[in-house]
Amino acid sequence: MSEIKTRFAPSPTGFMHIGNLRTALYSYLLAKSQGGKFVLRIEDTDQVRHVDGAEQVIIDTLKSTGIEYDEGPYIQSERLGIYREYADKLIESGHAYYCFCTPERLESLKDEKGIGGYDGHCRTLTQEDIQKNLAEGKPYVIRQKMPDSGTTSYVDEVYGEVSIDNSELRDQIMIKADGYPTYNFCHVVDDYLMGITHVVRGNEYLTSTPKYCLLYDAFGWERPHYVHLPLLMGKDADGNVSKLSKRHGAVSFQDLIGDGYLPEAVVNYIALLGWCPKDSNQEFFTIDELKKSFSMEGLSKSPAVFDYEKLKWFNSEYIKKMPDDEYGKIVMPILEKIFSDNINIGKLSELLHGRLITFGEIGERTEFVLKRLDMDNSLYINKKNKTTPELCKQILNECLPLLENLESWDNDSLFALLKEYSASSGIKAGAVMWAVRIAVARQGITPGGATELMEVFGKNESIERIKLAISEL
């Protein structure tokens, strides 16, 4: 077989749905796993739905996910002449025809439910009728002439054979009255002209593909391979699943990034939503590893369910693995926005590194640093360390002057000081650490121990919080 070539052909809607991103990814991986080429084509012939700046969203998303196109972006609205030229060829060969039917007539063909196809009325117009209508400037569309009988089938790489009775096919519009082509027509022309060997896309096109096959046949072109992908589903509150949509959570790549997910984690997770490696249980993949491992045999035809918990897990693992400098580049600006100079945000960032699930939760996770939270003295009770509010009060009272006298306020010095106090007082180190940690944090679960937190707070705030705790105990 000649070199494989795939494409991603999104409509510019202004956001990148996760399902579309997965289509792009699989299409890209299929080409790259076999040393082929990948094309980007923007399908913007639906002018009503056009959104300004939407192309850039697509380009930016591909860039940040590492999906690199070798050709394009081709823009369909810049290729209108080409589609018209190919539509004319089909008129000439008798596979397409002018249709001058008025909107009123088309409306009258619909049943009570508003459903109705075209009845082929203009199929039989004579050359004279056509020339006369054109000369009068009557609006028209160009329709594909479907065969009246027989069946059309193709073999999808994922779903197997798909077959349809030609009598069920309506004469669909190829070129609209405004001169713009329909998706149904122009994507076929483009896929052919761009040399696409494998069409990878969502399975909503599975059953309309016979119509596209008929276009290939009418032109005498070799049909491409079709790889339709199952829908992405979301889990509903009642335990059922339905097409992944906003009510399940963030569904666009942009929203996920906005919620603090890493592009690499998103790509890794969605790669596994409908595909799995052949002979391994490998879960972590860089895009380069995916390029090596991907194959069509690993694709599944059962709908994949998007699991936000699993994505969170991937993301937290990716954050943990980030080198400190890369991690700092993302986290420090967020912390700088939240905190004033008094807080040691370098240390805080370090404490959060192994513990964050997304970057979006930094505000919530550090609220106890920003504010002195209301707290309950029962937090001082800890069975393992045998602490009580009374014992904690004693510890804090005795440590306060020692801390006030401490010159260098860093984790090591603070740790040494509390250890020494524990030794001289005979109170277990665990109890001392517990009392101080609760007093400064004012909450039970913290990213880091007593002395690390005191380094984050700095001397003044730590002392103030301990004094406040004593007064409350």
Establish whether the linkage from the previous residue to 230 is cis, with ω within 30° of 0. Answer: no
- Residue 138 among the catalytic residues: no
Cβ closest to ligand GLU, residue 15 vs residue 205 = 205
The amino acid that residue 415 corresponds to is F
Site string for ligand GLU, 313-352 (x = CB under 6 A): ----------------------------------------
Question: Among residues 4, 6, 9, 214, which is the contact residue for ligand GLU, using CB under 6 A?
Answer: 9
Instruction: Give the helix/strand (H/E) hosting 414.
Output: helix 411-425
Q: Does 210 bind ligand GLU (CB under 6 A)?
A: no
Lookup: tokens for 200: 């990878």
Stretch in the footprint of ligand GLU (CB under 6 A) among 5-13, 249-257, 269-277, 367-375? 5-13
Q: Does 201 bind ligand GLU (CB under 6 A)?
A: yes
Site for ligand GLU in 20-79 (CB under 6 A): 43
Q: Does 209 bind ligand GLU (CB under 6 A)?
A: no
Q: Which of 246, 301, 320, 321 is catalytic?
A: 246
Question: Among residues 4, 6, 11, 38, which is the contact residue for ligand GLU, using CB under 6 A?
Answer: 11
Specify the residue for token string 């096109």: 205
Cβ closest to ligand GLU, residue 54 vs residue 142 = 54
Determine the Cα–Cα distance for residues 363 and 386; give it in Å rounded to an integer.
33
Lookup: tokens for 303: 């709908």
Site for ligand GLU in 154-193 (CB under 6 A): 183, 187
Exposure string of 180-218, with b = 16+ CB inside 10 Å and e = fewer, is: bbbebbbbbbbbbebebbbbbbbbebbeebbbbbbbbeb
User: How many residues sit close enough to ligand GLU to count as binding (CB under 6 A)?
Assistant: 8
Q: Does 10 bind ligand GLU (CB under 6 A)?
A: yes
For the bound state, the minimum distance from the C-beta of residue 469 to ligand GLU, rounded and expressed in Å, comes to: 59
Residue of 323, 353, 369, 363 whose CA lies nearest to 461 = 369
Determine the Cα–Cα distance for residues 439 and 380; give it in Å rounded to an integer.
8
For the bound state, the minimum distance from the C-beta of residue 21 to ligand GLU, rounded and expressed in Å, comes to: 12
Exposure string of 231-268, with b = 16+ CB inside 10 Å and e = fewer, is: bbbbbeeeeebeebeeebbbbbbeebbebbbbbbbbbb
Residue of 305, 304, 308 whose CA lies nearest to 255 = 308
Instruction: Give the helix/strand (H/E) hosting 235.
Output: strand 232-235
Q: Does 228 bind ligand GLU (CB under 6 A)?
A: no
For the bound state, the minimum distance from the C-beta of residue 95 to ligand GLU, rounded and expressed in Å, comes to: 21
Cβ closest to ligand GLU, residue 180 vs residue 183 = 183
Q: Does 448 bind ligand GLU (CB under 6 A)?
A: no
Question: Which residues lie near ligand GLU (CB under 6 A)?
Answer: 9-11, 43, 183, 187, 201, 205
Q: Just list the catalytic residues.
A: 246
